[in-house]
Amino acid sequence: MREFWSLVRRDLLLARRQGGAATSVAIFFILTVTLFPLGVGPESALLGRIASGVIWVAALLATMLSLDRVYQSDLEDGSLDVIAMAPMPLELVALAKTLAHWLTTGLLLVVLSPLLGVLMQLDTAAFGPLVLAMALGTPALSLLGSIGAALTVSVRRGGVLLSLLVIPFYIPVLIFGVGAVDAAVDGISARPHLLILGAILLFSLVISPLASAAALRLNLE
């Protein structure tokens, strides 16, 4: 496990140094959401109705756009060869890198989501469920995204193929994430949505390391 945490620490250090990757994800998230009042018009009733959807779509996009960081640069400069030969299973490598990805993107999205709720005139009653849903949903996004990132890692400029692969898998997270917030807005319990999000998270936690490791193995050849 020492190697596992070393790898996580390394990826965090790299993210911090690489032009503040984490802050850029945060700013991308905020900017995408602020584009909407500009695009859709400022009526607060309309904004409030689409708030949960817009925030979640922006979270999906922000996660997806940062996915190529997970494996790609390590493959390109040969680091992935060296990591793959380290004395730990490739499944653990994938998990460590996914964890580091979540810590530098998803975690920030969780923290920032109330702020965006304010910007989008979201009902204050829904802030709690929004944060909770984000806390359960974003790790699932990182885990599912890791599979796509690993599959396309040796494909030059695979970024857009990556989004094509990943978006269908993101749809359930989007739907139940939005569902949790909308339930709270409508005054019903968000619990069922949150439970389903939890189930999706557990499910991704099981398949992601396996599928990512298998994908990495074939891409190293």
**Per-residue contact string for residues 60-99; x = within reach of another protein by CB under 8 A:** ----------------xxxx-xxxxxxxxx----------
CA–CA dist 155, 103 (Å, integer): 26
Nearby residues of 7 by Cβ (< 8 Å), 6 or more positions away: 83, 86, 88, 93, 96, 97, 100
| The one among 111, 118, 161, 195 contacting a copy of itself by CB under 8 A | 161
| The one among 10, 50, 107, 159 contacting another protein by CB under 8 A | 10
Q: What angle do CA 120, 122, 124 make, to 5 degrees?
A: 140
Structure tokens at 17: 């140094």
Torsion sign (Cα): 207, 209, 214, 215: positive
Q: Which stretch binds a copy of itself (CB under 8 A): 66-74, 82-90, 116-124, 135-143?
A: 66-74
Angle subtended by helix axes 68-76 and 127-151, to nearest 10: 30
The residue ranges that bind another protein (CB under 8 A) are 2-3, 6-7, 9-10, 13-14, 17-20, 24, 27, 31, 34, 37-38, 41-44, 47, 76-79, 81-89, 118-119, 121, 147, 151-152, 154-156, 158, 161, 164-165, 167-169, 171-172, 175-176, 179, 182, 200, 203, 207, 211, 214-215, 218-221
